[in-house]
Amino acid sequence: MNGNIGQSLRPLDLHIPLVCESAETSQRNEVINMPDMSLLTHFMVHVSGRMALHPQRKLIWQRVIPTMAAEQEYLMHLLLALAGTHALCEADSPDTNLLNSKFDQTIPEAESFSDYHRILDHHQKGLEGFRHALPEATASTAEYIFCGSILIVAFSFASLRIRALGDKGIGFHNGDSAGEPWIDWLHLVRGLGALVGEHYIALRTSRLRTLMDHPHANEHWKDFSATSPTRVFPRLRHASPQFVRFSQGAAQQISLLRDFANTLTQDFGINMEDTPSPDSYGSPNLQTIPELLREQVSTLDRLEEMYMRTLYVFQFSTSERDSSASVDIQTDLEDAAVLSWPLIISNTFILSLQQGQDVGMFGGFSYVILAHFYVILLLFEDLWYLRGAFPREIQNVHRLVEKLGDGTLMSLMEWPMAMQGE
């Protein structure tokens, strides 16, 4: 019986014109890469709808970005790397029915490393293709490069979750600086802003134009004075306690950080208007102390802007979205572009984030400022690529600052530590 069924399974003759023999042979030798197909399916089913909070941005991730990835191989590599990261990080999530059993965290450590290296291989191939595409960027290719930048940024955030798996025994470590904050991911994020500026007009009419719309990314917050402690806004009454804690402490923290910067200026006799002296701090040829302090003060301006945008959003009336109060607030924060802070801090400030024994008072202050930026990311409880990694990074900053033994710096870490809640 089964043999008769097998004999009847013959290809349909659709009367399509014949192809040349070499092309036909090539097609017959093609093999479907099942692990990659599994990753692609995982992205479509489990990841694409969880990459953004605003419904229109969700549609871009669900429809446009997969379509563009199918048109450029390097984008597909970047997309599969992101899908694999989600599968690895969310393996124990009740909302994720993994399609590939290899992403089960009950499997031996060796197989976990194998999965990680497959993800990393896709990421590296995607980066290589992205680098080749960058020098040839034109108005017609800008949207592909923009898409690649977005995928790289998402992976950069999510990479900290992979590294946090070390807490579960998988064993990822920060090289010789285990237990110290990770900084390398910030460098991957920083190219997006330059690309948008160079090809702004082309991108405004591209398939990804919705991702550039942030209606609350403005200076309207300047019309509302922030008091310390800030009153509890009505909108927060049914939201996560995390939002209330932020609203009550954010303005005060900015004031405390500025006070510390002023103290450094006075204690070291620094005239911010003077020509920098040749005395450097930390690693040689990095920057002088006055230069660093200028960067730190400038970065505090950027931090205040992000904090005040956040407090401004907290003052909104509840929207008519069909979502919980917490998701509603996070969606408005997404519209305020507060996640874009890595793009607006300077490369000079990032260079001040030295690891190992070179961290001194000024370097420690840079890390404290960074921890306060991380607090913003704690508010996005419903974005999987942010959830869970940054409490660990704040703890790492706390340990680093603790080693410096400065009481004032330690006191500046009390609020970030309270916000991360562990």
The number of helices, as runs of H, and strands, as runs of E, in the chain is 20, 0
Question: What is the per-residue pLDDT for 234?
Answer: 87
pTM here is 0.86
Which tokens hold the place of 350? 């990032």
Q: Is 181 left (phi over 0), alpha (psi -120 to 50) or beta?
A: beta
- CA distance linking residue 240 with residue 322, whole number of Å: 17
pLDDT at 233: 85
pLDDT at position 32 is 81
CA gap 387, 385 in Å, rounded: 6
420 three-class SS: helix
Q: What is the mean pLDDT of each run of 10 residues along the chain (422 residues)?
A: 62 62 58 88 95 96 98 97 92 56 47 73 94 89 94 93 67 57 86 75 93 91 70 84 93 96 81 48 56 92 96 88 91 96 91 71 94 98 92 94 92 96 68
Q: Which amino acid, one-letter code, is at 29?
A: N
CB neighbour class for 393 (10 Å; exposed up to 12, middle 13-18, buried from 19): buried
- Looking at residue 11, its amino acid is P
* CA–CA dist 263, 267 (Å, integer): 6
